[in-house]
Copies of this chain bind each other. A is one copy, B any other.
Amino acid sequence: MSAAGLSPQALAEACARVMWDNDNATRHLGMELVSIAPGEAVIAMDITDAMTNGHGICHGGYMFTLADSAFAFACNSHNQRSVAQHCSVSFIAPAFRGDRLTASAQEVSRRGRSGIYDVRITNQEGEIVAEFRGHSRTIKGTHLPE
């Protein structure tokens, strides 16, 4: 499959398929790709026992991992391979065993090789549990041949 002639939306979907098939880590955690669009991605994940401490509170690392995955799908949606350079996350409310978290990534800016993406994580009640901001940089290569 080539990128030639694809609409931006079809290209984003094709890039996501290539990335998904290649990402043990994301699948291993039971993530679900809810939607993809140019510069955007939504991924959901259930908080399991293995992600929590003895009080049933989710380790911040798993919230980061979810947000980082949504960021990766969003910044790679233009068929230009991109990697994370710098990310920050603010923990706003705790998440618990059994919660279903949804991370929604949006492109804030893209200029030259640098991009900024914001990711909001909400729980099944729609409450914000974390806000993430990721800085990407394009590297050589494309997901689909051009």
**Interface residues of A, Cβ cutoff 8 Å to B:** 21-26, 28, 49-55, 58-62, 64-66, 68-69, 83-93, 108-109, 111, 114, 116, 118, 128, 131, 133, 135
Contact of A91 among B83, B88, B89, B108 (CB under 8 A): B83
CB < 8 Å neighbour of A109 from B61, B64, B114, B131? B131
| Distance in Å: Cβ of A66 to nearest Cβ of chain B | 8
How far apart are A44's CB and chain B's nearest CB, in angstroms? 15
User: Which residue of the partner chain, among B68, B89, B92, contacts A59 with CB atoms under 8 Å?
Assistant: B68
- 8 Å CB contact of A52 from B24, B92, B133: B24
Tell me whether B54 and A59 are in contact (CB under 8 A): no
Assess the A49–B68 pair: CB atoms within 8 A: no
Among the listed B23, B53, B135, which residue makes an inter-chain contact with A86, where contact means beta carbons less than 8 Å apart? B135
Across-interface contacts of A66 in B (CB, < 8 A): 61
Give min CB distance, A6 to chain B, whole Å.
22
B25 touches A62 (CB 8 A): yes
The reply to whether A86 and B90 contact each other, CB–CB distance below 8 Å, is yes
Q: Which of B23, B58, B59, B128 contacts A53 (CB 8 A)?
A: B23
Contacts of A60 in B (CB 8 A): 65, 68, 84, 87
